């Protein structure tokens, strides 16, 4: 991608009114890509702030994108498919079959038909309790046991994609770990723990974390691989520029961190003394609660990605001071 050609490169982004999709659009704007086609169900007022100030060519409704690509495929250089139903508390499998599995298959098929390179969002939810580890190894995908219909829908599509003999000219499925950062204001219960910690501190001056119900973990020492959404955008851009081997790639930092560290970082960003208490993990999720996730990042590193990932402390500080405190979007 030569600098002079950036204004000509057309990139279709699904889920562009949502959290990660809108940040990716903003990052591409910063890199001087403005020939963007933003795809979503544009019926939610609370999502407008995520895209109203972006530079783009066109907004296309989610269900109209296939007809649009049929008419405009000669101009489309990339599809970045980030649209999905991401509610892990939703248990209606039909919802996930429609919006995550079958919609993604249709995206894949039209990209294959017109030889359009595709990057899509998978999820670390595919790894379930981590019985088979957290390595982005294609050989274990059939064995994975996700804990909810959302994770199952993502793994079902990964399995389907790996079984295809006809593929887009390039494809990569990104297994997002715990992504946090600006533009998630609309997500409610599904927003990151940092977002909820910030709100609790502002409203009550304290943060509640889940108590540990596992003998090997102290309260607050449950571990997750938290990745800042700006790093997610950088990796997607790297894949676009370099097109390494087709396949699934983990996208975390490779370093698990405690929820206690997260809460303390949020207090520190606000210049406040930590006040942290613990509450029982809700019964409805307790038996499926992950106490440890950590992305194995060897594959992406071997593919040539050399950037240092933003630390939890740096990411929380930037998120709180530059976005949450002003309710600003990226």
Annotated active-site residue 237? The verdict is no
**Count of other CB atoms within 10 angstroms of residue 326:** 8
In the predicted model, what is the mean pLDDT of residues 248-272?
A: 98
Burial class from Cβ neighbours inside 10 Å (0-12, 13-18, 19+) for residue 183 reads buried
- pLDDT for residue 288: 81
- pLDDT for residue 77: 97
Is domain 7-180+227-254+295-307 in CATH 3.40.80.10, yes or no? Answer: no
Tell me: pLDDT of 251 over 90. Answer: yes
Res. 2 pLDDT band, cuts 50 70 90: very low
Tell me: pLDDT of 4 over 70. Answer: no
Tell me: pLDDT of 250 over 50. Answer: yes
Of 109, 187, 243, 296, the catalytic one is 187
Q: Using one digit for the tens of pLDDT, what is the confidence trace for 115-154?
A: 999 999 999 999 999 999 999 999 999 999 998 889 999 9
Buried b (16+ CB within 10 A) or exposed e, 241-279: eeebebbbbbbbbbebbbbbbbbbbbbebbeeeeebeee
| Phi and psi torsions of 287, nearest 5° | -75, -10
Q: Using one digit for the tens of pLDDT, what is the confidence trace for 194-237?
A: 999 999 999 999 999 999 999 999 999 999 999 999 999 999 99
- pLDDT for residue 5: 76
Torsion of CA 99, 103, 108, 113, to 10 degrees: -170
- pLDDT for residue 87: 65
Res. 93 pLDDT band, cuts 50 70 90: confident
In the predicted model, what is the mean pLDDT of residues 247-263?
A: 98
Tell me: pLDDT of 95 over 90. Answer: no
Mean pLDDT of the chain: 94
Using alpha carbons only, give the angle 278, 257, 315 rounded to the nearest 5 degrees. Answer: 105
Q: Using one digit for the tens of pLDDT, what is the confidence trace for 45-83?
A: 999 999 999 999 999 999 999 999 999 999 999 999 999
Q: Which two tokens stand for residue 172?
A: 């990569």
Query: What's the Rg (C-alpha) of the chain?
Result: 19
> Running DSSP on this structure, what letter comes out for residue 268?
H
Res. 85 pLDDT band, cuts 50 70 90: confident
Considering only 16-20, 63-67, 186-190, which range has the smallest mean pLDDT?
Answer: 186-190
Would you give the end-to-end CA distance of the chain in angstroms? 24
Of 27, 150, 180, 185, the catalytic one is 150
Within this chain, domains 7-180+227-254+295-307 and 181-226+255-294+308-330 share the same CATH topology: no
Annotated active-site residue 187? The verdict is yes
> Running DSSP on this structure, what letter comes out for residue 289?
-
- pLDDT for residue 88: 64
Report domain extents, the chain: 7-180+227-254+295-307, 181-226+255-294+308-330
Give the CATH superfamily of 181-226+255-294+308-330. UDP-galactose 4-epimerase, domain 1 (3.90.25.10)
């Amino acid at each position: 991608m030569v600098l002079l050609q950036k204004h000509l490169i057309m990139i279709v982004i699904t889920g562009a009114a949502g959290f990660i999709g809108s940040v990716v659009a903003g990052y591409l704007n910063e890199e001087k890509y403005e020939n963007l086609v933003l795809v979503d169900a544009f019926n939610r007022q609370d999502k407008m702030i995520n895209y109203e100030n972006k530079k783009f060519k066109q907004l296309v409704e989610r269900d109209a994108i296939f007809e649009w690509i049929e008419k405009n495929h000669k101009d489309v250089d990339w599809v970045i498919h980030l649209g999905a139903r991401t509610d892990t508390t939703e248990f209606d499998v039909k919802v996930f079959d429609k919006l995550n599995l079958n919609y993604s298959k249709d995206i894949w098929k039209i990209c294959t038909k017109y030889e359009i390179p595709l990057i899509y969002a998978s999820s670390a939810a595919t790894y379930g309790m981590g019985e088979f580890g957290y390595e982005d190894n294609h050989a274990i995908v059939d064995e994975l046991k996700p804990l909810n219909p959302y994770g199952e829908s993502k793994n079902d599509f990964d399995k389907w994609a790996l079984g295809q003999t006809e593929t887009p000219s390039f494809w990569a499925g990104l297994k997002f770990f715990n992504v946090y950062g600006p533009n998630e204001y609309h997500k409610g219960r599904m927003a990151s723990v940092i977002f909820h910690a910030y709100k609790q501190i502002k409203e009550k001056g304290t943060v509640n974390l889940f108590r540990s119900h596992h003998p090997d973990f102290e309260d607050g020492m449950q571990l997750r691989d938290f990745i800042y959404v700006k790093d997610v955008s950088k990796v997607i851009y790297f894949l676009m520029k370099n097109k390494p081997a087709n396949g699934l790639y983990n996208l975390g930092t490779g370093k698990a961190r405690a929820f206690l560290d997260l809460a303390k970082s949020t207090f520190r960003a606000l210049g406040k003394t930590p006040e942290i208490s613990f509450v029982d993990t809700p019964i409805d999720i307790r038996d499926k609660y992950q106490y440890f996730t950590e992305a194995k990042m060897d594959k992406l590193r071997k593919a040539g990605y050399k950037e240092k990932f933003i630390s939890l402390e740096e990411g929380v500080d930037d998120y709180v001071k530059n976005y949450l405190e002003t309710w600003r979007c990226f």
